Amino acid sequence: MLDVAIIGGGPAALSAALNCRQRNKTVCVFGRSLDSSLLFAAEKVDNYLGIPEVNGEELLNQFYTHAVKKDVEFQECRVTQILNMGEHYMINAENNFIEAKAVILATGLSKSKGIAGEMEYLGKGVSYCATCDGMLYKDKKVVVVSENEEGEAEANFLADICKEVLYIPLHKTITNLKNSVGVLSAKPMAVKGTGDKLTALVTDKEEIPCDGIFFAKDTLPPDSLIYGLKTDGKNIEVDRRMATNLPFVYAAGDCTGAPYQIAKAVGEGLIAALSVVSDIDKMKKE
Ligand X SMILES: Cc1cc2nc3c(=O)[nH]c(=O)nc-3n(C[C@H](O)[C@H](O)[C@H](O)COP(=O)(O)OP(=O)(O)OC[C@H]3O[C@@H](n4cnc5c(N)ncnc54)[C@H](O)[C@@H]3O)c2cc1C
DSSP H helix total and E strand total for the chain = 6, 17
Contact between 254 and ligand X per CB under 6 A: yes
Applying CB under 6 A, among 98, 129, 201, 220 the residue interacting with ligand X is 220
Contact between 31 and ligand X per CB under 6 A: yes
Contact between 122 and ligand X per CB under 6 A: no
Residue number with CB closer to ligand X (41 or 85):
41
CA nearest neighbour of 106 among 283, 264, 245: 264
Contact between 18 and ligand X per CB under 6 A: no
Residue number with CB closer to ligand X (86 or 259):
259
Stretch that binds ligand X, among 8-16, 62-70, 125-133, 161-169 (CB under 6 A): 8-16
Contact between 101 and ligand X per CB under 6 A: no
Contact between 91 and ligand X per CB under 6 A: no
H or E stretch including 276? helix 262-285
Burial 214-242 (b: 16+ CB within 10 A, else e): bbbbebbbbbbbbeebebeebbbbbeeeb
Length of the chain: 286
Query: In the complex, what is the shortest distance from the CB of residue 65 to ligand X, in angstroms, rounded to a whole number?
Result: 16
Contact between 260 and ligand X per CB under 6 A: yes
CA nearest neighbour of 80 among 58, 120, 38, 112: 112
Crossing angle of helices 11-22 and 56-69, in 10° steps, is: 20
Applying CB under 6 A, among 38, 162, 168, 249 the residue interacting with ligand X is 38
Q: What share of the chain is helix, strand, coil (3-state, %, to 5)?
A: 30, 30, 40
Bond prior to 259 in cis (omega within 30° of 0): yes
Contact between 271 and ligand X per CB under 6 A: no
Residue number with CB closer to ligand X (41 or 183):
41
Contact between 19 and ligand X per CB under 6 A: no
Contact between 41 and ligand X per CB under 6 A: yes
Residues that bind ligand X (CB under 6 A): 7-13, 30-32, 36-39, 41-42, 45, 47, 78-79, 106-109, 219-220, 253-254, 260-263, 265
